[in-house]
Chain A
Amino acid sequence: GENVEQHPSTLSVQEGDSAVIKCTYSDSASNYFPWYKQELGKGPQLIIDIRSNVGEKKDQRIAVTLNKTAKHFSLHITETQPEDSAVYFCAASPNQGGKLIFGQGTELSVKP
Protein backbone atom coordinates (compact mmCIF):
# COMPACT_ATOMS: atom_id res chain seq x y z
CA GLY A 1 0.00 0.00 0.00
CA GLU A 2 0.88 3.66 -0.10
CA ASN A 3 3.47 5.00 2.31
CA VAL A 4 4.23 8.69 2.85
CA GLU A 5 7.41 9.93 4.48
CA GLN A 6 7.69 13.53 5.67
CA HIS A 7 10.63 15.56 6.89
CA PRO A 8 11.77 17.38 8.84
CA SER A 9 9.74 16.50 11.93
CA THR A 10 10.45 19.93 13.44
CA LEU A 11 11.41 23.18 11.78
CA SER A 12 12.22 26.50 13.40
CA VAL A 13 12.59 29.67 11.34
CA GLN A 14 12.79 33.38 11.94
CA GLU A 15 9.84 35.52 10.97
CA GLY A 16 10.16 36.55 7.33
CA ASP A 17 12.27 33.54 6.34
CA SER A 18 11.06 30.74 4.07
CA ALA A 19 10.13 27.25 5.23
CA VAL A 20 10.25 24.07 3.14
CA ILE A 21 8.73 20.72 4.06
CA LYS A 22 9.30 17.65 1.91
CA CYS A 23 7.37 14.42 1.41
CA THR A 24 7.93 11.28 -0.59
CA TYR A 25 5.36 8.68 -1.54
CA SER A 26 5.64 5.10 -2.72
CA ASP A 27 2.57 4.40 -4.89
CA SER A 28 3.02 5.74 -8.41
CA ALA A 29 -0.77 5.52 -8.88
CA SER A 30 -1.39 8.23 -6.26
CA ASN A 31 -2.84 11.28 -7.96
CA TYR A 32 -3.92 13.79 -5.31
CA PHE A 33 -1.61 15.46 -2.78
CA PRO A 34 -3.06 17.82 -0.18
CA TRP A 35 -1.31 19.72 2.59
CA TYR A 36 -3.02 20.32 5.91
CA LYS A 37 -2.30 22.71 8.78
CA GLN A 38 -3.29 21.63 12.27
CA GLU A 39 -3.39 24.00 15.21
CA LEU A 40 -3.48 22.76 18.77
CA GLY A 41 -6.79 21.19 19.71
CA LYS A 42 -8.28 21.56 16.25
CA GLY A 43 -8.86 19.36 13.25
CA PRO A 44 -6.57 19.66 10.22
CA GLN A 45 -7.39 22.37 7.68
CA LEU A 46 -6.49 22.18 4.00
CA ILE A 47 -4.07 24.90 2.94
CA ILE A 48 -3.22 23.80 -0.60
CA ASP A 49 -3.45 20.73 -2.79
CA ILE A 50 -2.07 19.54 -6.11
CA ARG A 51 -3.08 16.88 -8.58
CA SER A 52 -0.75 14.68 -10.55
CA ASN A 53 -1.32 16.48 -13.85
CA VAL A 54 0.23 19.67 -12.44
CA GLY A 55 3.84 20.31 -11.42
CA GLU A 56 3.42 23.42 -9.30
CA LYS A 57 0.67 25.41 -7.66
CA LYS A 58 0.85 28.69 -5.77
CA ASP A 59 -1.53 30.53 -3.47
CA GLN A 60 -0.14 33.80 -2.09
CA ARG A 61 2.72 32.86 0.28
CA ILE A 62 2.20 29.12 -0.11
CA ALA A 63 3.34 26.93 -2.99
CA VAL A 64 3.50 23.20 -3.62
CA THR A 65 5.69 21.40 -6.15
CA LEU A 66 5.26 17.84 -7.38
CA ASN A 67 7.84 15.62 -9.05
CA LYS A 68 6.01 12.51 -10.24
CA THR A 69 9.12 10.83 -11.56
CA ALA A 70 10.88 11.06 -8.23
CA LYS A 71 7.63 10.63 -6.28
CA HIS A 72 8.14 13.59 -4.04
CA PHE A 73 6.32 16.81 -3.32
CA SER A 74 7.17 19.85 -1.24
CA LEU A 75 5.47 22.71 0.57
CA HIS A 76 7.05 26.13 0.43
CA ILE A 77 5.98 28.95 2.73
CA THR A 78 7.55 32.36 2.07
CA GLU A 79 7.65 35.40 4.33
CA THR A 80 6.70 33.31 7.33
CA GLN A 81 4.67 34.87 10.14
CA PRO A 82 4.19 33.75 13.76
CA GLU A 83 0.64 32.66 12.92
CA ASP A 84 2.11 30.11 10.50
CA SER A 85 3.31 28.18 13.58
CA ALA A 86 1.45 24.84 13.59
CA VAL A 87 1.85 21.20 12.60
CA TYR A 88 1.77 20.60 8.86
CA PHE A 89 0.82 17.27 7.28
CA CYS A 90 1.26 16.09 3.72
CA ALA A 91 -0.92 13.34 2.33
CA ALA A 92 -1.40 11.23 -0.77
CA SER A 93 -4.53 9.67 -2.18
CA PRO A 94 -3.81 6.35 -3.91
CA ASN A 95 -5.61 4.69 -6.79
CA GLN A 96 -8.29 7.32 -7.39
CA GLY A 97 -9.69 6.36 -4.02
CA GLY A 98 -10.88 8.68 -1.34
CA LYS A 99 -8.71 7.78 1.62
CA LEU A 100 -5.70 9.88 2.44
CA ILE A 101 -2.39 8.45 3.61
CA PHE A 102 -0.66 11.04 5.80
CA GLY A 103 2.94 11.81 6.58
CA GLN A 104 4.03 12.02 10.20
CA GLY A 105 3.80 15.81 10.37
CA THR A 106 6.18 18.74 10.71
CA GLU A 107 5.98 21.06 13.68
CA LEU A 108 6.80 24.52 12.34
CA SER A 109 7.78 27.26 14.75
CA VAL A 110 8.13 30.83 13.47
CA LYS A 111 10.01 33.03 15.91
CA PRO A 112 9.25 36.74 15.93
Chain B
Amino acid sequence: GAGVSQSPSNKVTEKGKDVELRCDPISGHTALYWYRQSLGQGLEFLIYFQGNSAPDKSGLPSDRFSAERTGGSVSTLTIQRTQQEDSAVYLCASSFRINNEQFFGPGTRLTVL
Protein backbone atom coordinates (compact mmCIF):
# COMPACT_ATOMS: atom_id res chain seq x y z
CA GLY B 1 0.00 0.00 0.00
CA ALA B 2 0.93 3.64 -0.20
CA GLY B 3 3.38 4.96 2.32
CA VAL B 4 3.74 8.42 3.81
CA SER B 5 4.09 11.04 1.10
CA GLN B 6 5.45 14.55 1.40
CA SER B 7 5.44 17.52 -0.91
CA PRO B 8 7.31 19.28 -2.26
CA SER B 9 10.41 17.08 -2.26
CA ASN B 10 12.60 20.18 -2.52
CA LYS B 11 11.88 23.78 -1.68
CA VAL B 12 14.18 26.75 -2.17
CA THR B 13 13.05 30.03 -0.70
CA GLU B 14 14.42 33.42 0.19
CA LYS B 15 15.00 34.54 3.72
CA GLY B 16 11.90 36.16 5.16
CA LYS B 17 9.39 34.26 3.01
CA ASP B 18 6.79 31.86 4.40
CA VAL B 19 6.74 28.19 3.36
CA GLU B 20 4.21 25.37 3.68
CA LEU B 21 5.21 21.72 3.73
CA ARG B 22 2.63 18.99 3.25
CA CYS B 23 2.37 15.47 4.63
CA ASP B 24 -0.07 12.73 3.62
CA PRO B 25 0.03 9.96 6.23
CA ILE B 26 -0.79 6.32 5.72
CA SER B 27 -4.54 5.83 5.59
CA GLY B 28 -5.96 4.84 8.96
CA HIS B 29 -2.99 6.05 10.99
CA THR B 30 -4.18 8.16 13.88
CA ALA B 31 -0.83 9.65 14.89
CA LEU B 32 1.26 12.02 12.77
CA TYR B 33 4.69 13.44 13.60
CA TRP B 34 7.03 16.10 12.23
CA TYR B 35 10.80 15.96 12.68
CA ARG B 36 13.66 18.08 11.38
CA GLN B 37 17.02 16.73 10.26
CA SER B 38 19.84 19.21 9.78
CA LEU B 39 22.84 18.25 7.64
CA GLY B 40 24.65 15.31 9.16
CA GLN B 41 22.57 15.44 12.31
CA GLY B 42 20.02 13.29 14.04
CA LEU B 43 16.31 13.85 13.90
CA GLU B 44 14.82 16.57 16.06
CA PHE B 45 11.20 16.19 17.17
CA LEU B 46 8.95 19.14 16.31
CA ILE B 47 5.28 18.28 16.88
CA TYR B 48 2.87 15.38 16.89
CA PHE B 49 -0.87 14.87 16.52
CA GLN B 50 -2.87 12.00 17.99
CA GLY B 51 -6.49 11.68 16.97
CA ASN B 52 -8.57 14.55 18.31
CA SER B 53 -6.24 15.31 21.21
CA ALA B 54 -4.39 18.59 21.49
CA PRO B 55 -1.09 18.31 19.63
CA ASP B 56 2.22 18.05 21.46
CA LYS B 57 4.03 21.18 20.27
CA SER B 58 6.90 20.90 22.69
CA GLY B 59 9.57 20.56 19.98
CA LEU B 60 8.71 23.61 17.88
CA PRO B 61 11.83 25.84 17.96
CA SER B 62 10.03 29.19 17.76
CA ASP B 63 6.63 30.76 17.20
CA ARG B 64 7.47 31.06 13.50
CA PHE B 65 6.71 27.34 13.27
CA SER B 66 3.16 25.99 13.30
CA ALA B 67 1.35 22.91 12.06
CA GLU B 68 -2.18 21.82 11.38
CA ARG B 69 -3.82 18.50 10.76
CA THR B 70 -7.12 18.77 8.97
CA GLY B 71 -9.78 16.09 9.18
CA GLY B 72 -7.42 13.76 11.01
CA SER B 73 -5.44 13.15 7.85
CA VAL B 74 -3.27 15.58 5.87
CA SER B 75 -0.92 17.85 7.82
CA THR B 76 0.76 21.12 6.87
CA LEU B 77 3.86 22.49 8.57
CA THR B 78 4.20 26.25 8.12
CA ILE B 79 7.35 28.24 8.70
CA GLN B 80 6.91 32.00 8.69
CA ARG B 81 9.62 34.53 7.96
CA THR B 82 12.14 31.80 7.15
CA GLN B 83 15.74 32.11 8.34
CA GLN B 84 18.85 30.44 6.96
CA GLU B 85 19.07 28.22 10.04
CA ASP B 86 15.69 26.72 9.05
CA SER B 87 17.44 24.96 6.16
CA ALA B 88 17.06 21.23 6.79
CA VAL B 89 15.16 18.14 5.73
CA TYR B 90 11.69 18.08 7.26
CA LEU B 91 10.43 14.57 7.81
CA CYS B 92 6.89 13.46 8.49
CA ALA B 93 5.92 10.11 10.02
CA SER B 94 2.69 8.39 10.91
CA SER B 95 1.73 5.46 13.11
CA PHE B 96 -1.44 3.46 13.75
CA ARG B 97 -1.38 4.63 17.37
CA ILE B 98 1.21 6.36 19.51
CA ASN B 99 4.02 4.10 20.68
CA ASN B 100 3.62 2.00 17.55
CA GLU B 101 6.09 1.83 14.67
CA GLN B 102 6.48 5.19 12.97
CA PHE B 103 6.63 5.10 9.18
CA PHE B 104 8.58 7.97 7.66
CA GLY B 105 8.08 9.82 4.43
CA PRO B 106 10.97 10.77 2.13
CA GLY B 107 11.17 14.29 3.53
CA THR B 108 11.15 17.81 2.14
CA ARG B 109 14.55 19.43 1.71
CA LEU B 110 14.20 23.12 2.55
CA THR B 111 16.89 25.57 1.53
CA VAL B 112 16.66 29.16 2.70
CA LEU B 113 18.91 31.52 0.75
Chain A interface residues (CB < 8 Å from chain B): 6, 31-32, 34, 36, 41-46, 49, 89, 91, 93, 96-105
Q: How far is the CA of A86 from the CA of B101 in the complex (A)?
A: 20
State the Cβ distance, A100 to closest chain B Cβ, in Å: 7
Q: Which residues of A contact B105 (CB under 8 A)?
A: 43
CB of B82 closer than 8 Å to a CB of A:
no
Complex-state Cα separation, A41 to B107, whole angstroms = 9
Q: Interface extent on B, as a size class?
A: 20 to 34
Kindly state whether residue B95 has any CB partner on chain A within 8 Å.
Answer: yes
Residue ranges of B at the interface with A (Cβ–Cβ < 8 Å): 4, 31, 33, 35, 41-45, 48, 50, 56, 58-59, 91, 93, 95, 98-99, 101-107
Asked whether B101 lies within 8 Å of A49 as measured between CB atoms, the reply is yes
* Chain B proximity of A10: nearest CB distance (Å): 11
Shortest distance from the beta carbon of B70 to any chain A beta carbon, whole Å: 19
Cross-chain pair count, CB within 8 angstroms: 62
Please state if B104 and A98 are interface contacts (CB–CB under 8 Å).
Answer: no
Q: Pick 27 A–B contacts, CB within 8 A, sort by A.
A: A6-B42, A34-B101, A41-B106, A43-B91, A43-B93, A43-B106, A43-B107, A45-B104, A46-B103, A89-B43, A93-B99, A97-B56, A98-B50, A98-B56, A98-B95, A98-B99, A99-B33, A99-B45, A99-B56, A100-B45, A100-B102, A102-B35, A102-B45, A103-B42, A104-B42, A105-B41, A105-B42
Closest 9 CB pairs of A and B: A98-B98, A43-B104, A102-B42, A102-B43, A104-B42, A99-B45, A44-B104, A43-B106, A98-B48
